[in-house]
Structure 1
């Protein structure tokens, strides 16, 4: 169908013509004690959910307009890193800090793509390579899971953004009772790289799926993550 007659295509054009917003996330990476990769990914996903459900993001809250404008666009997320004084300055800005075992990730209300707060704009995107000291265990029975595509290589920062995106799509997909129960429990979840043999079944299951826009690292349209929240 041509773009001229496709209502969805027109909506995409309208979306992309509107001012673009981005959701900033900052991960704390100290030289002496960096977090494990999986811990950082899971903490980033929870951070996104905490911001979405914060009272400041709802109705007429102080972040509501920015969140609405961001969600009307491409719901971009960018992860930067900080340590020491950089982290202290970043933590002083309005936002929410999610904490994992060792990971700390701070999420901020969305900002215009070209108008980041100074103390965040100066932080580096590169250098977010993290490792797991040991392979993460299997998710607990019934635990919500974000599955990463085993065929797509991503830095930890990129994977954090994708995990957050999948968690957001999964949250939107839940019926109200399930969503409230997950929120009340503190958004427990696991982020794992799927086994190659399992990925085709996950991709065909109709689950919330992230297709990357291709702005950084990977090809446009790549499926990066799938949210399996109810098992």
Structure 2
């Protein structure tokens, strides 16, 4: 595997904090969906923030960090501009973009690598479904970042009518995995961009990781 690309000091990154409870952890798909929702709902809360515009104009980098229940509560209390997304028993915090090289200490000490949740209850396909490339063997944290990337890309690409329909439906999110061939063939029907990873962690640069399929009965999006 090639060496991961380094972040530039001035690059903005969106922190996403995933609750990984030590006693009763949520299921993997619920955690992935919660992280993706937290990412886009943080943007939807304050899209006029100029940092969002700068961040979205670039690679919209994300950093999924894990926290136990105690640290998760500390993050909630420390950042009043957070968004909390909950799917089933999973929880994730979405924050506005911050300089990658100078994250607040509370966030910087949270671990990124090795973030895993148990299998848990699958999230079947819904009106909006995130399709992950199951052939890559991504960790929960990596899959969550790629799911968030795909959902945000769909949000920017879909148009306001589709986003409004999704919100009116209660922000449904399904999470499914496809083998390499099915993922590649299904990408032709994607409702938004197919995400190609930069290769900073876990997988080779350029690997296609995720996309969204959405259907709200009004020919919204691109499907």
Normalised by the size of structure 2, how large is the TM-score? 0.86
SS of the aligned residue for 2:134 comes to coil
Q: Give per-residue Cα distances to partners, 1:72-109, cap 9 Å, x unaligned.
A: 22101111111143222111113111111110100111
Q: Give per-residue Cα distances to partners, 1:31-59, cap 9 Å, x unaligned.
A: 111110000011111111211211xx233
SS of the aligned residue for 2:135 comes to coil
Checking the alignment, whether the CA contact within 8 Å between 1:208 and 1:228 is kept in structure 2 is no
SS of the aligned residue for 1:214 comes to coil
User: Which residue does 1:139 correspond to in 2?
Assistant: 125
SS of the aligned residue for 1:129 comes to coil
- Match among 8, 25, 38 for residue 47 of structure 1: 38
1:71 Cα deviation after fit: 1.1
- Match among 182, 204, 222 for residue 188 of structure 2: 204
Q: Which runs of 4+ in 1 moved over 6 A?
A: none
Matches within 5 A, 1:208-227: 208-227=193-212
5+ residue gaps, structure 1:
1-15
Q: More displaced, 92-101 or 35-44? A: 92-101
Q: How many residues align?
A: 207
> Larger Rg: 1 or 2?
1
Normalised by the size of structure 1, how large is the TM-score? 0.83
CA distance in 1, matches of 2:51, 2:170: 24
Checking the alignment, whether the CA contact within 8 Å between 1:148 and 1:224 is kept in structure 2 is yes
What RMSD, in angstroms, separates the aligned Cα atoms of the two structures? 2.0
